[in-house]
Amino acid sequence: MRFIRVIACLVALPFVALPQTASPLKAAPPNQYIGNDQCGICHVEIAKDFFRNPHYKSIASGKEAPEKTGCEGCHGAGGNHLAAGGGQATIRAFSQMTPAQIIDTCLGCHSKDLSRANIRRSAHTEADVVCTNCHSVHHSTTPKFLLAKKQSELCYQCHAPIRAQFDMPVKHRVNEGVVQCTDCHNPHGNFAASWRTGTGSNLVTASHENEEPCLKCHADKRGPFVFEHASVRVEGCSGCHMPHGSTNAKLLKRPVVFTVCLECHNGAGTFGRENLGVFVQSASHNMLDPKYQRCTSCHVKIHGSNSDPRFLR
Ligand code: HEC
Ligand code: HEC
Ligand code: HEC
Ligand code: HEC
Ligand code: HEC
Ligand code: HEC
Ligand code: HEC
Ligand code: HEC
Ligand code: HEC
Ligand code: HEC
Atom of ligand 2 nearest to the CA of 78: 38
Side-chain-facing half-sphere of 287: CA atoms under 13 Å: 11
Q: Which residue has the higher pLDDT, 209 or 290?
A: 290
> Which residue is closest in CA terms to ligand 9's atom 29?
310
Distance, in Å, from the CA atom of 19 to the CA atom of 222, rounded to the nearest integer, reads 69
- The pLDDT score that the predictor gives to residue 275 is 59
Nearest to 187 by CA among 220, 151, 211: 151
Q: How far, in Å, from the CA of 129 to the mean position of ligand 5? A: 8
pLDDT at 67: 58
| Percentage helix, strand, coil for the chain under 3-state DSSP, each rounded to 5 | 40, 5, 50
CA of 229 to the centre of ligand 9 (A): 6
- The pLDDT, as a whole number, for residue 14 is 42
Name the residue of 36, 138, 146 to mutate for ligand 1: max ligand atoms within 8 A of Cβ: 138
* pLDDT at residue 80 in the model: 92
Long-range contacts of 137-140 (CB under 8 A, 24+ apart): 137/53, 137/55, 137/74, 138/46, 138/49, 138/53
Give the long-range contacts of residues 163-169, CB within 8 A, separation 24 or more.
165/242, 165/244, 165/245, 166/244, 166/245, 167/245, 168/244, 168/245, 168/246, 168/247, 169/245, 169/246, 169/247
Instruction: Give pLDDT tens digits for 15-28.
Output: 444 444 444 455 55
Q: Which amino acid is at 302?
A: I
Q: Whose CA is nearest to atom 40 of ligand 9?
A: 261
Its pTM stands at 0.91
Q: Cβ(83) to ligand 2 under 6 A? A: no
Nearest to 105 by CA among 71, 58, 81, 60: 71
Residue 2: per-residue pLDDT = 47
pLDDT tens, 144-187?
A: 999 999 999 999 999 999 999 999 999 999 999 999 999 999 99
How far is C-alpha 17 from the geometric centre of its chain's CA atoms? Answer: 43
Ligand 9 centroid to Cα of residue 67, in Å, is 60
- Cα→Cα distances 135→32, 106, 124, 264, Å: 28, 11, 14, 44
Give 139-183 as a 3 state SS string. Answer: CCCCCCCCECCCHHHHHHHHCHHHHHHCCCCEECCCCCCCCCHHH
Nearest CA to ligand 8 atom 33: 237
Ligand 7 binding pocket mutation candidate from 179, 182, 253, 303 (most atoms within 8 A of CB)? 179
More confident residue, 25 or 134: 134
User: Exposure string (b/e) for 140-158, b if CB count within 10 Å is 16 or more?
Assistant: beeeeebbbeebbebbbee
State which ligand 3 atom lies nearest to the alpha carbon of 110: 35
Residue 60 has pLDDT above 60, yes or no: no
Whether residue 154 has its Cβ less than 6 Å from ligand 5: yes
What is the reported pLDDT for 1? 41
Which DSSP letter does residue 255 get?
S
135 φ/ψ angles, rounded to the nearest 5 degrees: -105, 140
Q: How far apart are CA 134 and CA 131, in angstroms?
A: 6
Q: Which one of the ligands is nearest to 277 CA?
A: 9
Please provide residue 37's backbone torsions phi and psi, each rounded to the nearest 5 degrees: -60, -40
Q: What digits encode the pLDDT tens for the residues 240-281?
A: 999 999 999 999 999 989 999 988 887 766 655 565 667 777
Task: Enter the DSSP assignment of 245.
Answer: E
